Structure 1
Amino acid sequence: MIEFLKKHKYKIIAAVCALAVLTGAFFAGGSLGNNSPEVVKSSTSDTAFVTESTTASQSKNDSTSPTENSNKATEKNKSEQSTTAPTSTLQAKSEQSVVSNQTSKLSGSSSASSKSSSQNSQSTSGTKQDKYKTDPVPEGKPQPVEPQEQEITDNKLKCTISISCATVLDNMDKLNKSKKEIIPDDGWILEPVTVTFNEGESVFDVLKQVCKDNKIQLEFVLTPVYNSYYIEGINNLYEFDCGSISGWTYEVNDWFPNYGCSRYEVKNGDVIEWHFTCNNGADVGAVIQ
């Protein structure tokens, strides 16, 4: 027996090592399967009217059939691949709106377009984007702020805000059929109203509060790359609901900012206008350079 062990000791040692390796791999594989991370899909605020989505490409439409949702998603993907800047560049992603051939989570009359074009052409001497991909702000216009650095005080100020989808009335043939009933006859979702806000708050903060106060549905998504919230839908009217380059954009004091609404600090007396555009901003006076 001793002679047998001496003669075959290396084979025995190899077999024992192989068995140990296989046993360790078996237990390791079993433990890995229990450590899969959970995926959080969405979160909702304390009111049924204001919802935060967690993905910029997600579109909410409970009344749309699966087929319509599929077509809508296809249409959205095509828009994101277009060489023309899509609607989202005029709002939370508007930092890229004055750069040609930019792609995607928007923010009239010929005279309005000319006015906006003139404003946008008054750029600063710098040409470099900031770390959130914001192009230089036109001279004399408010610089963007960073929401996480803003100090909100108890000092009460006043501004005027309105929400309009009047452009849809001229594009009913493009409108998602399931949304026709939610379009007001005069296009006003919220006529101009004077509201009170706290010093340091943003356009996004004011919109969120006024929608809550007036029970107007609002859905938005945070886009970290632009450090801003993007407005996906108001009053159940969403981006791409009236064509592949439709969506929400905002205007302050006759200017369409080239950065997201939560980076615009509201000042006392400001006039904020939210527009639904069916033509990438051109139909409401916002011109992409």
Structure 2
Amino acid sequence: MFYFIFLVAKTFSGKPFTDVSHFVNADGLHIFTNCWEPKGDVKFLVCMLHGFGGHCIRFNELASYFTEIGGLVFSHDHIGHGESEGSRTTVDDYNKLIRDTYQHVDIVMEKYPGKPVYIFGQSMGGALAVLAAHAKPTLFKGVILVGPMLLIDPGLQSSFRRVLIKMAAYLAPNVVLTSLPESRGSRDQDEIKISQEDPLKSSDVKSEMALQLLRIGEQLEVVMPQFTCPFITLHGGDDFTCSVEASKLIHRVAKSEDKTLKIYELCRHDLVHELQEDRIKCFTDIQNWLKERLQLNS
């Protein structure tokens, strides 16, 4: 007698993927998705990319600023992040994250043909957004960057440390090299507590992921001076995680004819969850930037 056991793929929190929105990527991994729809007609599309250790549900408040003016917002948890499948908070090739982004964009564009598409990226998601838009410059009408990770961490810049990371990634890819403290992301203590207690978040940087972050930084060094897409960069002046100088750098060196830079002097890395007054200003600045380019009156 033969017994067949069918394993049902489940999210990180244990929900069957048959019960949640998702797509299956080229590696056969289930990628959790979320969508925020406007009340009226869809005027434009926004693909949102979260940062390292994060997940897409955390974009609820910001997404409302897009849907309010007719945007259909869609996002997904990167491989190994949030509710998606994959080794926790790591990937063996960062290009897979960009590949999955294109797949998600194609899925949504098929449902809403002819609508302009914008790409939003926060932190590591900002780096991925720049690389994705540069590789397919006609796909996106504009790029929105919030606290983007655009320069290699100074602690990784020496040749010796780069060699050590490459060795560690090869010999022990899942060893944790460091953890990013949630407490330095925002001045809003309530948001810090929510982040610290969020079971879907993880701040552990494994050696394999450290290598991919290093490679992302190396590629950005090449791409930034060649970047031509319209973009807006928003960065906290007291960001201890991703360099505000990198945001100034891309604004200075990019070939884009349409580029905007806004620095929020007292804010930290996670502008999306900063003090209410400051994040509303950031969200409103993004909304107004979109209105101007989409020629929306309301």
* TM-score, L = length of structure 2: 0.26
Q: Which has the higher helix share?
A: 2
Larger radius of gyration: 1
Greater relative CO, 1 or 2 (CA 8 Å, sep 6+): 1
